[in-house]
A = this chain, B = another copy of it.
Amino acid sequence: MLKKLAFFILLTMVFNCKNENVSKENLTHNSSKEDYTQYVNPFIGTSKMGHVFPGATAPFGMVQLSPQTNFEVMHKEDGSYNSETYEYCAGYQYRDSTIIGFAHTNFSGTGHSDLGDFLVMPTTGDLVLDPLETYDGDKGFYSTFSHDNEEASAGYYKVDLDTYNIKAELTASERVGFHQYTFPKSDNAHVILDMVYNVYHHDNKNVWTFIRVENDTLVTGYRQTKGWARTKKVFFAMQFSKPFKSYGHKKYDEIKYDGFYKRFKQDENFPEMAGKDIRAYFNFDTKEDEKINIKFALSPVSTAGAMKNLKAEIPHWDFNKIKEETKEKWNKELSKIEAETLTEDDKITFYTAMYHTNLSPILYEDVDGQYRGLDQNIHQSDGFTNYTIFSLWDTYRALHPLFNITQPKRNNDMIKSMLAHHDESVHNMLPIWSHYANENWCMIGYHATSVIADAMAKNVGDFNYERALLASVNTANVSYFDGLGDYIDYKYVPDDLSHSSVSKTLEYAYNDWCIAQMAKQVGDASAEKEFMKRSEYYNNVYDPKIGYMRPKLSDGTFRKNFDPMDTHGQGFIEGNAWNYGLYVPQNIDKMVTMMGGKERFTQRLDSLFTMNIDEKYIAKHEDITRDGIIGNYVHGNEPGHHIPYLYNWTGHPEKTQSRVRMIMDTMYGSTVEGLCGNDDAGQMSAWYIFSSLGFYPVTPGSPDYALGSPLVKEAKIHLDNGKTLTIKANNQSKENVYVQSVSINGKKLENNLLSHQDIMKGGELIFEMSNQPKQ
């Protein structure tokens, strides 16, 4: 459960500090509108399992430049897994007191990590090139820091590096990180460029690194890693505001080269460095309070691409200008929903959630539209902007549906990026979990089909529907993919042939329904029929004798040893039959009937939220922690995110209403512990935004939202079509969680559903609230 007591004083201080700035800025930049960035606190969720980072980034920026705190290695010296590793998914844990540098790529809230490219660290004194500990056991180049001297806002991060008496400030445009280091007087100041560091690892993901010192202020290079993205390459161009007086590097791997290249000294002031694991350094003399700025551009294509990005996005050295411009970009995104909340804390939670829904997928192309494709060839984005980081098992649920309201143009580009991915895929598949021109195959299903079907159902975007259907059908027929061939043959995934057999069957069936919806829109009756048929395969893993979804073997019998509470090895992934088994979003009425009708289903939901779950069922899973659990319902992970809304289908919408308000109150908050589980690239936050507004996309691919209970008092959604939908919760209070009636533009909504079409018309959506369920 959320611990709201912590960090209050600190946050008050930080926000006070920020508010002062805001006032001044309002006068110059944003006089007509409220500054919503004042409600963003990037530290929310940086403690424990939120997996978000506090660093600086532009909305959906390729550069996400953030401090990396002092975590050592994924595997301990004895080879065992370090259980703390998972907490460091975004490189930062709030409890830490040391920083080892600032890395230019970070996932926001994902369930695994792979990034942390190009760690930059300014130091003074004797040069130390090891981050944690030197070979002789001396202190590494990390610095201590205090949260008292740390500050983070949308697009800006600041910290005092106490060990070196250096003030570090970061901001970023989409493709360029902008560092500002204020040094003390020193004739021995350094900027370290650590090409070894990775999130989770200090030394074992690199395939190759390459650095060129183009001149005394410009450095280029790239890194290739073999992590989650099996063949990942990121290129950079790094420009200093002041010439370095000397430089060098140290090679940490033990690779021996052939030939004679070592014939002359190449470790100092030799402008070409390469190897598996190298760390470079650049030396300076600094005056007291002298600022050294660094512009650090990334490219998925080449160092030439990084140079283009650098020149195009930040052609000057005005740090504050970029900081302000990026803040404005954030304000533009945040102000798409102008929310009035009951408390300041709620407003902070709301806008920080908004912030977190604008961090990924990220832009993944150079300013000229060139990007690296899944085939590792360089492509030109034609008629779209290319994005990457598709954590689709998470984000199809609410993040992409939210984009259909707040970011329709970007969602259109993201779908086009997925279609390009399909075309570049040797499998002819849409992305599963893809990042940086690689498919990492994480989690199950082919949920890109949901994102596409949802956009089609809501008439978002101008992507080609036939092409999208074909790509979806191709994807749904790749027989060697993760039990899919067996699913097609057996009409379910046999548990003896594939792990997570029930979860896969349920999600494939839902994805197939999505494809059927596309086929219907396109007018392909044959495909519609085929995939509607497949969408009913969930039936085949339901065991009416016990009333649960249950693993079935290839011989047609249900598996004998079966524990519906266990989240491990019971045919589900990151869930159990109790919570994951309630997954038939494409036909909730039928599921309710199948499972014994409305009353029994209501009781089952009640039990789910209130039962006591044994510790042994929790301890096994890093994605399921006590913080994110209500009974046997897991809000800290995704597969149950639709469940609180299912009461709407059992005749008890008031239970949905109280439950979602309870979840918003207890599973989210405005402190560093404000996320009860991985934000999962924005899905957790998107759930909060939708629920705060009073509705939720229980079935992406359908144009309808399930109504819940709004948290806001009022919210204006500024739609892309120029219209505004104003949501009003009359008689709103913390206690008044029950909805008496809902109307849109005077039309009463009767069946707990709100259509996307109605939202798009703008106008007023009015909830009448009460502290009693509607009679």
A interface residues (Cβ-Cβ under 8 A, vs B): 74, 112, 114, 200, 205, 207-208, 210, 212-214, 220, 222, 224, 226-228, 230-231, 255, 257-261, 263-265, 269-272, 274, 276, 302-304, 375-378, 426-427, 439-443, 480-483, 498-499
29 contacts between A and B (CB under 8 A): A74-B258, A205-B258, A207-B207, A207-B224, A208-B208, A208-B224, A208-B226, A210-B231, A212-B426, A222-B376, A224-B224, A227-B257, A228-B259, A230-B261, A259-B441, A259-B442, A260-B440, A261-B440, A261-B441, A264-B482, A264-B498, A271-B426, A271-B427, A272-B426, A302-B376, A303-B377, A304-B375, A304-B378, A378-B378
Q: How far is the CA of A695 from the CA of B231 in the complex (A)?
A: 54
Q: A214: which B residues are within 8 A, CB to CB?
A: 426
The residue in chain B whose Cβ has the minimal distance to the Cβ of A222 is: B376
Q: How far is the CA of A274 from the CA of B231 in the complex (A)?
A: 8
Q: A259 touching B376 by the CB < 8 A rule? A: no
- Taking a contact as CB atoms closer than 8 A, the residue among B213, B260, B442 that contacts A441 in the complex is B260
Q: B258 touching A227 by the CB < 8 A rule? A: yes
- Taking a contact as CB atoms closer than 8 A, the residue among B226, B259, B270, B304 that contacts A257 in the complex is B226
Q: A259 touching B440 by the CB < 8 A rule? A: yes
Q: How far is the CA of A269 from the CA of B276 in the complex (A)?
A: 31
With most chain B CB atoms within 10 A of its CB, the pick from A213, A214, A260, A378 is A260
A377-B303, A427-B271 given as contacts; is B260 within 8 A of A443 (CB)?
yes
Q: B210 touching A441 by the CB < 8 A rule? A: no
Q: A442: which B residues are within 8 A, CB to CB?
A: 259-261
CB distance from A202 to the nearest CB of B (A): 14
Q: B426 touching A259 by the CB < 8 A rule? A: no
Q: A443: which B residues are within 8 A, CB to CB?
A: 260
A426-B212, A426-B271 given as contacts; is B304 within 8 A of A377 (CB)?
yes
With most chain B CB atoms within 10 A of its CB, the pick from A200, A303, A377 is A377
Q: A440: which B residues are within 8 A, CB to CB?
A: 259-261
The residue in chain B whose Cβ has the minimal distance to the Cβ of A205 is: B258
Q: A261: which B residues are within 8 A, CB to CB?
A: 228, 230, 439-442
CB distance from A499 to the nearest CB of B (A): 7
Q: How far is the CA of A377 from the CA of B263 in the complex (A)?
A: 26
Q: A210: which B residues are within 8 A, CB to CB?
A: 231, 376
Q: A263: which B residues are within 8 A, CB to CB?
A: 441, 482, 499
Q: A483: which B residues are within 8 A, CB to CB?
A: 264
If A230-B261, A259-B440, A260-B441 are given as contacts, then 11 extra A-B residue pairs at C-beta distance below 8 Å, sorted by A number, are A208-B208, A208-B224, A220-B375, A224-B224, A226-B276, A231-B274, A261-B439, A261-B441, A265-B480, A272-B427, A378-B378
CB distance from A257 to the nearest CB of B (A): 6
CB distance from A577 to the nearest CB of B (A): 21
A264-B482, A274-B231, A302-B378 given as contacts; is B208 within 8 A of A259 (CB)?
no
Q: How far is the CA of A265 from the CA of B261 in the complex (A)?
A: 42
Q: How far is the CA of A558 from the CA of B109 in the complex (A)?
A: 68
CB distance from A392 to the nearest CB of B (A): 14
CB distance from A650 to the nearest CB of B (A): 35
A200-B258, A258-B200, A259-B440 given as contacts; is B426 within 8 A of A264 (CB)?
no
CB distance from A357 to the nearest CB of B (A): 24
A208-B224, A208-B226, A426-B271 given as contacts; is B375 within 8 A of A112 (CB)?
no
Q: How far is the CA of A629 from the CA of B270 in the complex (A)?
A: 39
Q: A302 touching B377 by the CB < 8 A rule? A: yes
With most chain B CB atoms within 10 A of its CB, the pick from A207, A208, A230 is A230
Q: How far is the CA of A439 from the CA of B213 in the complex (A)?
A: 16
Q: How far is the CA of A255 from the CA of B205 in the complex (A)?
A: 9
Q: A207: which B residues are within 8 A, CB to CB?
A: 207-208, 224, 276
Q: How far is the CA of A23 from the CA of B483 in the complex (A)?
A: 61
Q: B228 touching A269 by the CB < 8 A rule? A: no
Q: How far is the CA of A304 from the CA of B374 in the complex (A)?
A: 12
The residue in chain B whose Cβ has the minimal distance to the Cβ of A428 is: B271
Q: A303: which B residues are within 8 A, CB to CB?
A: 375-377
Q: B258 touching A228 by the CB < 8 A rule? A: yes
Q: A230 touching B269 by the CB < 8 A rule? A: no
Q: How far is the CA of A439 from the CA of B226 in the complex (A)?
A: 26
Q: A231: which B residues are within 8 A, CB to CB?
A: 208, 210, 274
Q: A114 touching B224 by the CB < 8 A rule? A: no
Q: A220: which B residues are within 8 A, CB to CB?
A: 375
CB distance from A493 to the nearest CB of B (A): 11
Q: A208: which B residues are within 8 A, CB to CB?
A: 207-208, 224, 226, 231
Q: A272: which B residues are within 8 A, CB to CB?
A: 426-427, 439
Q: A227: which B residues are within 8 A, CB to CB?
A: 257-259
Q: How far is the CA of A259 from the CA of B200 in the complex (A)?
A: 12
Q: B480 touching A270 by the CB < 8 A rule? A: yes
Q: A264 touching B375 by the CB < 8 A rule? A: no
Q: B114 touching A259 by the CB < 8 A rule? A: yes
CB distance from A141 to the nearest CB of B (A): 25
CB distance from A498 to the nearest CB of B (A): 8
CB distance from A210 to the nearest CB of B (A): 6
Q: A222: which B residues are within 8 A, CB to CB?
A: 376
Q: A230 touching B257 by the CB < 8 A rule? A: yes
With most chain B CB atoms within 10 A of its CB, the pick from A261, A269, A271, A304 is A261
The residue in chain B whose Cβ has the minimal distance to the Cβ of A498 is: B264
Q: A224: which B residues are within 8 A, CB to CB?
A: 207-208, 224
Q: How far is the CA of A213 from the CA of B480 in the complex (A)?
A: 14
Q: A74: which B residues are within 8 A, CB to CB?
A: 258
The residue in chain B whose Cβ has the minimal distance to the Cβ of A481 is: B264
